[in-house]
Structure 1
């Protein structure tokens, strides 16, 4: 350890209890310890900026602590704003019950992994076939034929297991059945 490192270590050890109390009064006891860690990290990163005098070093640490408090307050304000926006959003984006679509998920899981991934990207992630081709780094024509094969295999498996009614009961399932039975594939339009 160099003399500068030793001097900084001593200054941090001497000032840490005072800086911690400063942070506790401004951020509360729950966040103060994390903020002190941030202060110490910044002090080590900026060790070359440390004043030589011990009193000046203590004040320098309080300056870093002040900036840490300001950053923590901005972060807290953004978090509160995000939570309030999420609370105000309508609950239309709720997930279906865990057992809903179990037959469909099971049928998808029994597909070849490459085919299953195509179905998941198109129907669960909402990608078009062209977008899914980019994600999977495959030519669109290859992806289109894999999607058609996956669709046919899923339709057969669901019909065999009597799950067609369950599939028809969900918007994504209806879209799948439309794609599987009637609609021609359109790479630009989404599947």
Structure 2
């Protein structure tokens, strides 16, 4: 029977993690709160991948591990900053758009659902996405004249549906 033995790197890594994990978690929690556990896991993964670089002596190994943790924390802070900037930019774009009346949106979706799906797609590409009939033709792989004819048919069907729904 062949026994499995862990390499020295694995044993050193396991011993270091057992000893340093509580301190690393406290280090992260003081800085990021509940997200500290995620950062600890990331630190452990990086340390595992780089365990061959782990110093043999205990104190240098611990300092090496805290160096890895510091880099993980800095990367997390940069990622959070990028996320906040992107969120701010998206909020600016969304607030700059005119907010549609939800009742109108629901009514329009109801009308579109009654159309043939191919016609509904053309209408939504024109009116919601701002595509030209030529662009839609390229997208759907058909001549612009065919798209134009289908668009006209869709408008006629929508007019007929609106005429039926209009109050008298």
What's the TM-score once normalised by structure 1's chain length? 0.68
The reply on whether 1:15 has 2:12 as its aligned counterpart is no
* SS at 2:99 equivalent: coil
Point out where structure 1 has 5 or more consecutive residues left out of the alignment.
164-191
**CA distance in 2: counterparts of 1:134 and 1:15, whole angstroms:** 60
The 2-side partners of 1:2 and 1:143 are apart by 67
**CA separation of 1:125/1:89 partners in 2, compared to 1, >3 Å: closer, same or farther?**
closer
Deviation at 1:24, TM superposition (A): 2.4
Q: CA deviation at 1:76?
A: 3.1
Q: Number of matched residues?
A: 161
**Whole-angstrom distance in 2 between the partners of 1:6 and 1:145:** 73
| Residue 96 (str. 1) matches residue 129 (str. 2) | no
For structure 2, list consecutive stretches of 5 or more residues without a partner in the other structure: none
Are 1:40 and 2:79 matched, yes or no?
A: no
Match of 1:117 among 112, 115, 121: 121
| Per-residue deviation, 1:83 | 5.0
> Displacement, 1:66?
0.7
Residues 10-58 of structure 1: per-residue CA shift (max 9 Å, x gap): 3222211111122223x23222222112212222233343333333332
* Matched ranges for 1:52-131 at <5 A: 52-82=56-86, 91-131=95-135
Q: How large is the RMSD of aligned CA atoms in angstroms?
A: 2.8
CA shift in 2, pair 1:146/1:31, >3 Å: same
Is 2:43 the partner of 1:49? no
Deviation at 1:87, TM superposition (A): 6.2
Which of the residues 6, 10, 13 maps onto 1:5?
10
TM-score (norm 2): 0.76
Q: Does residue 142 of structure 2 align to residue 139 of structure 1? A: yes
Instruction: Tell me which residue corresponds to 1:172.
Output: none
